[in-house]
Structure 1
Amino acid sequence: MKILTLEFLKLRRKKILLMITLFMGVEILWALLAVSISLSRNPSDNGWMATIVTLATMNALFLPIISSVVMSRICDMEYKGNTWKLLRSVNVKPSNVYAAKYICGNILLLYAIVLQAIAIAIFSNVNGFAEPLPLSILLKYIGGTMLITMTILALQQWISLLFKNQTFALCLGMVGGFLGMTGDFFPSFLRRIIIWSYYTGLSPVACRFTDNSTHFILRNQNIGIFAVVILITIVFYIAGNSHVSRQEL
């Protein structure tokens, strides 16, 4: 707990929370504007379903980039301050520092996802949609979005600590955002290996196009996909943790 507290203290002047809030503000406003325009043209559509699908799609662009920036700022401090040797000299295990950084990143991104959930709830209540937004769907949205974000954070942390130059990690985030946005256009066998595209796949609401019209449906969650994502997360985390524990200081 002390190491985790120190990670947040080291971030206090980096204004990461402000950056996340601004990024989320742009994404949320963009999504709600798009949904409002869509509903004005198709008033029969389910409003909160359209909002969830739109945000899930935009998350594939925004969250990989935000994750790369957050993890880069969290990990870059150790290289700029050359603190790895110092930490080992006071008997702090690198694996504990690695875990603290990962938890710190997840808490910051959970804040971003909760902001989205609050925006969805407020938007639904203000517009008075015919079908009320079920709390269970909102919780599934938070859970699915957070799960794939944990995977991306594990990958970004590994890359951020693998290369001292954070350009590699930031480029990975931008490439991931591009692949996430375009992932649904790839064949299914390719889409399965593009982890950034899982934001739509793990969303509780899906969008279907039939007869030149759009339909929103509740998706039956596939436990197998969740299991695969969790396994990938564990692999990324162990790989990064092992690298930090073995690296020459």
Structure 2
Amino acid sequence: MSTKAMVNEFAKMRHLRVWLLTLILAVLAIGIGLYGSTMLGPDFDPASDDAWNSVLSASGFTLAGPLLLAVIASRQVDIEHQGNGWLMSATSGVTSGGLCRAKLFSLGIMVTIATIAVSGALLSVGLLFGVTAPIPGGRWIGFTACIIVVNLVLLALHIVVSTRIENQLVGIGIGLLGTVLALFGNEIPAWMAHLTPWGYYALSTAAEYQDGVLVGLTPSYASVLALGAVATTVFILFTGRLDRQEV
């Protein structure tokens, strides 16, 4: 991957204020999660052994992620359509496929940092609320890693969509649909959640209600890993095909 292409992508992000969209993603993920969490309810007991389950269930990526990731990818790709950037990159030796890979890598760094920041912020909130039970470190790290993978897969998906379809409203519409699918991910059978990338937010869950009781869960690591592998393969094939096409 061209270092120059990476530097250019970060420069574009600064110009397009993509960093601000990423910050909004993180803030909304925390705000939405806390608003819907039992942590703010009168029944929350920070001394309970299950208190961390309330914190783990407070991630709002399910609602904030699908649409904002679509907007972030769309904004970063649309500038190439508007300014004939594909041709300009080709003349400087960067293929369209290489440009897409640079976009995913640069945006992926931002999204990964935001996801880790949200995870760390929720952990800090739990400590501020006085949770005294031992932190479920393994489950916490696993949950964070799964959310990172799902976020990156959706980011790659929207880069592909935004590259192939110049009308960016299509990608935004897919993001809106994804929000609905992610929202109901916990309400449908697990096999159905496997059918769309947005359903993997539910499969990454580390705590959910079962029979009215909030319990800890082990994220579906194998499923999320398989999603990441399939998405990586498809993205490599897609960008490889772009490498062989004339602009």
TM-score by length of 1: 0.87
From the superposition, tell whether residues 132 and 24 of structure 1 become closer, same or farther in structure 2 (CA, over 3 Å).
same
Distance 1:91 1:15 in 2: 26
How well do the aligned residues superpose, as a CA RMSD in angstroms?
2.2
Q: Within the alignment, does 1:202 sit opposite 2:210 as a pair? A: no
Question: Which residue in the other structure is 1:49 paired with?
Answer: 53
Q: Which consecutive unaligned segments of at least 5 residues does structure 1 have?
A: none
Contact 2:162 2:168 (8 Å CA) reproduced: yes
Question: Which residue in the other structure is 2:216 paired with?
Answer: 217
Shift of 1:151: 1.3
Question: Which residue in the other structure is 2:64 paired with?
Answer: 62
Question: Which residue in the other structure is 1:233 paired with?
Answer: 231
Distance 1:25 1:54 in 2: 12
Distance 1:114 1:134 in 2: 16
Q: Which consecutive unaligned segments of at least 5 residues does structure 2 have?
A: none
Amino acid across the alignment from 1:78: E
Question: Which residue in the other structure is 1:87 paired with?
Answer: 89
From the superposition, tell whether residues 30 and 234 of structure 1 become closer, same or farther in structure 2 (CA, over 3 Å).
closer
Contact 2:38 2:54 (8 Å CA) reproduced: no
Shift of 1:13: 2.2
Aligned with 2:169 (options 167, 170, 177): 167
Amino acid across the alignment from 1:188: A
Distance 2:143 2:242 in 1: 33
Percent sequence identity is: 21
Distance 1:98 1:39 in 2: 45
Distance 1:198 1:226 in 2: 7
Distance 1:185 1:201 in 2: 11
Contact 1:158 1:236 (8 Å CA) reproduced: no
Contact 2:181 2:199 (8 Å CA) reproduced: yes
From the superposition, tell whether residues 223 and 110 of structure 1 become closer, same or farther in structure 2 (CA, over 3 Å).
closer
Amino acid across the alignment from 2:133: E
User: Across the two proteins, how many residue pairs are aligned to each other?
Assistant: 243
SS at match of 1:215: strand
